[in-house]
Each structure stands twice: as C-alpha cells, then as structure tokens.
Amino acid sequence: MENQLNLFSLDDGQETRDHGQQTTDSKQARPDKGPAETNSILNPSVSILYNSLEEAKSAAMSCKKCKLCEGRTNVVFSDGIENAKIMIIGEGPGENEDLQGLPFVGRAGKLLDKIFESVGLNRKEHLYICNIVKCRPPNNRAPEEDEANACSEYLKAQIKYVNPKIIILAGAVAVKGILKKKDVKITKIRGEWIELEDLLLAGRKIMPIFHPSYLLRHEWNKAPDSPKAMMWKDIQEIKRVYDSLA
C-alpha cells in the first residue's frame, strides 16, 4: 500500500492549491447536514442546443453568457479523446488552465494524471476531461450557480456526443452540479457508483472522487483510511468497471 500511495505524490515543493477547491473542501469539513434536493445544472430540460460537439466548442470559444468571460485568458473546453468511455468532470479552470486553455494541467492535473496512469489509463487514449464551467472564476473561487447554469448547455453537449459509459465527478462542486444534492459531504459518497434516471445520464455509471487538490493538501497522511488510500481503492474500482465494459 505504501508504494501505491507514493504514486499519488508530487514532491516538488510547490504550493498545493490549484484553484477554488480549497474553499470547497473547507466546507466539506463541517458537520454533514445530509443531502438536500436542488436543480441539477443539466435540468430541467435535456434537450441539446448544439448539433455536434464541435458546434458546442465553437460557441463556447466566444461565449459571453456570464461574467466569467470578462476575466478569462482562454476558454477551457476539454482535453482527451472525444469517444472516451470515461469522462472526468471537475470544477473550473485555475490559473494554469486559463493560460493554456486545457483542463487539469496544474499540480492537481499532474496528480490526476498520475492517479489514472497508475492503472494504465491516460488522457491521450482513454479519457475525456472537462469542467462545470469553461472560464476561470476570479481568485479561483467556486463557480456561482448562474455561471454553472450558463455553461450547462456545453456540458450537456459534451455528455451527449462523447457518450461516456463512466462519469467521474472530481470534487464537491462537480457533485453538486451533476447530482441533485445541495449539501453533500464527499467523504460519505466518494467511491460509490451512482445511477440516475435523468434521460441524459441514464445508463451511465457515475462516481464521485476527491478532487486532486484535496489529496495534495493531505500529502502527509498515509494512514489506511487517508484520502490517498481511499483514492487508491476508488481508482482500482474505476479500472475494474472500465475493463468490464463491452
């Protein structure tokens, strides 16, 4: 186990916070109030505004639907392959992502890559990676509800046209956006497979996991019940289900 947990380490001495996930995870440390129903950003309609993934991407590149457009350097639409069986949905771009126009390319992204590469999966061959919002929120804060809603048509198109069998929700913001849960403690639902009746999500296996920024802040903890140890269990389960797909 020690060797496997070392796979999830980035010993470069840099700061551990990539984006607004620090705010999100600090909320997770509060007593759990239990899940509450709210509107998913994919609801109430599952109709798709765009006729193809390329059309959705083209629209996103010049999007001005919300105030996030005012401070962006680049729209961060996606990375990976467009027929991937696994889609990873994160929160939103951080500084590195905004500069490069690609999701998960900072320290958290490097760790995410290491986690999936530990079971033989990578973004060039197996994964499609995107976020709830496509533009960087100021000061790396969590996206606001209206911002997530403004981006929802792009995310709907991504899910429909990539058509993944598995959707991984990285962090609480992604969980709250995709699942109909307002107050949720990710430590209680991470690693669980969730299946929804929503027409766009039906038939897909959905798993919440810790955001890699959260794992970076718990770098020191290598206990059997540490976040890193739980992530190791989760990635093995993801790979097991991936291998079982036709």
Kindly report the number of other CB atoms within 10 A of residue 91's CB atom.
Answer: 32
Is 6 part of a structural domain of the chain?
no
Q: Which two tokens stand for residue 165?
A: 């069998």
- CA–centroid distance for 206 within its chain: 11
CATH of the domain at 212: 3.40.470.10
Is 122 part of a structural domain of the chain?
yes
DSSP designation for 132 = S
Q: Compute the distance between CA of residue 114 and CA of residue 98 in angstroms, rounded to an integer.
A: 21
Q: Confidence class of residue 179 from pLDDT cuts 50, 70 and 90?
A: confident
- CA–centroid distance for 245 within its chain: 21
Q: Confidence class of residue 104 from pLDDT cuts 50, 70 and 90?
A: very high
Is 196 part of a structural domain of the chain?
yes
| Cβ atoms 90, 171 nearer than 8 A | yes
Count of domains for the chain = 1
Q: Which two tokens stand for residue 87?
A: 């889609």
Q: Which comes out higher in pLDDT, residue 237 or 22?
A: 237
Is the pLDDT at 5 greater than 60? The verdict is: no
Could you give the strand order of the β-sheet that contains 86-90, starting from the edge strand earlier in sequence?
A: 79-80, 127-131, 86-90, 166-170, 205-209
Is the pLDDT at 203 greater than 80? The verdict is: yes
Q: Which two tokens stand for residue 8?
A: 């999830």
Provide the pLDDT for residue 9: 66
Q: List the beta bridge partners of residue 170.
A: 209
Look at residues 5, 241, 7 and name the one whose alpha carbon lies nearest to residue 117.
7
Provide the pLDDT for residue 12: 47
Provide the pLDDT for residue 8: 64
Is 151 part of a structural domain of the chain?
yes
Is the pLDDT at 31 greater than 50? The verdict is: no
Provide the pLDDT for residue 191: 97
Q: Compute the distance between CA of residue 222 and CA of residue 233 in angstroms, rounded to an integer.
A: 13
Q: Which comes out higher in pLDDT, residue 37 or 4?
A: 4
Provide the pLDDT for residue 105: 97
Read off φ and ψ for residue 88, nearest 5 degrees: -105, 125
Name residues whose C-beta falls within 8 Å of residue 178's C-beta, 6 or more positions apart in sequence.
40, 41, 42, 89, 167, 169, 201, 206
Look at residues 161, 245, 246, 174 and name the one whose alpha carbon lies nearest to residue 208.
174
Query: What is the percent of the chain where pLDDT is above 70?
Result: 81
Provide the pLDDT for residue 154: 97
Calculate mean pLDDT across residues 99-117. 97
Lowest mean pLDDT among 45-54, 144-153, 224-233: 45-54
Calculate mean pLDDT across residues 41-58. 84
Q: Compute the distance between CA of residue 140 and CA of residue 21 in angstroms, rounded to an integer.
A: 8
Is the pLDDT at 170 greater than 90? The verdict is: yes
CA within 13 Å, CB half, 159: 29
Q: Confidence class of residue 37 from pLDDT cuts 50, 70 and 90?
A: very low
Is the pLDDT at 204 greater than 90? The verdict is: yes
Is 14 part of a structural domain of the chain?
no
Domain of 62, in residue numbers: 38-244
Give the global pTM: 0.86
